[in-house]
Amino acid sequence: RFPEDLEDENTTFNPEYSHQVFGDDEVAFGYKGLKILLYYIAGNLSTLFRIEYTSKVNEKFDCVEADDVESKIREIIPSGFSTNTDDFVSLLEKEVNFKPFGMLLHTYSVHNEEAGEDITYQIYKADMTCPGFREYHERLQTFLMWFIETASFIDVDDERWNYFLVFEKYNKDGATLFATVGYMTVYNYYVYPDKTRPRVSQMLILPPFQGEGHGAQLLETVHRYYMSSPAVLDITAEDPSDNYVKLRDFVLVKLCQDLLCFSPGKLMQGFSQEMVMEAQQKLKINKQHTRRVYEILRLRATDMGDAEQSRSYRLDVKRRLIGPYKKKQRELAKMRRCLRPEELTNQLNQIDLNMQHEQLEESFQQLVSDYRRVLERLAQA
């Protein structure tokens, strides 16, 4: 944001992953004192890239070559970046002209203890028809390689992609500027005969902004955007991480808790088709996610200190969790009819009932622990 940020370690954040660029060992071979400098201007993400090192091996040294670090980075960052600090700093003056892309969906504020004030954030929906967005997105997506373990770049020429962006509004010399906070990509799948199923593909909040609730604001805003469309069947996610599942649990429970079908009385009667229908029709939530919402809200309505209520809740959740084990038992019944005795013994050893019960109890306890964290966060929201 400011020239002095270049020398400020507090504005620096390091990759969580680098295996997609440097291999599974995450090592750059052949350098001493290697520094890879990759800086972005806060708003339009104009980039500075260069490498520094104190020494480098050459071919005279055991006939080996140092890794070509520069080429590896150039493969993922778009051309047009600065290599000179002065050129890069001069671009800061143009930041006052940078404005978010697309349509404003939501504005919210977060209290910043350090600054002692509320900071304003905005969420926009953009697409490739927005002037300048394609080039901006090329720079933005480079963060995925460092912060999502199995990231890949998407085909931006496919018009079924939607892009949702979070920006911070801040003041600099009396002018209002915008800093990139994070984003989400959503792909709109066709569902026969006349519906779409938006699927969240990538979601990233940049490290300086993590832990401030932006992910929940973004996901809720995206849900509300699609909820208003009669053409949308439900909203899903592609290969969700554990952290994403916890975030989704919080957002969906927050959205569902005021629906009549989730009143305490109905929760205690068990999971129902009414819950499935209402969550799907009003909030575009599918059956699997609705079931998790039910279990979390039922936990809130259950007195776990009451033996009967606690037992009823435990059995209800375990009936769902036991599904995969029952499937194994059905497979085993088929095996009994067609396997030789020694083959059957081998399979039986793999399906130990005591172990299944232990795994089931472990899964239940982990789930309740996760659910309690969702409820704690909900109580603070």
Instruction: Indicate the DSSP class of residue 100.
Output: -
Locate tokens 């050459």: which residue? 58
Cα gap 189→199, rounded to integer Å: 7
Which DSSP category does 330 fall into? H
Of how many residues is the chain composed? 381
Token readout for 330 is 């059905």
SS3 126: strand
Please check whether residue 30 is in contact with residue 67, taking contact to mean a CB–CB distance below 8 angstroms. yes
Among residues 26, 65, 159, 238, which one is catalytic?
238
Instruction: Return the DSSP state at 78.
Output: P
Instruction: Report d(CA 317, CA 362) in Å as an integer.
Output: 12
Exposure on the CB side of residue 99, measured as CA atoms within 13 A: 6
User: HSE of 21 in the Cβ direction (CA atoms, 13 Å)?
Assistant: 26
Phi, psi for residue 189 in degrees, rounded to 5: -80, 145
With 0-12 CB in 10 A as exposed, 13-18 as middle and 19+ as buried, what is 231?
Answer: exposed
238 is an active site residue? yes
Catalytic site residues? Answer: 238
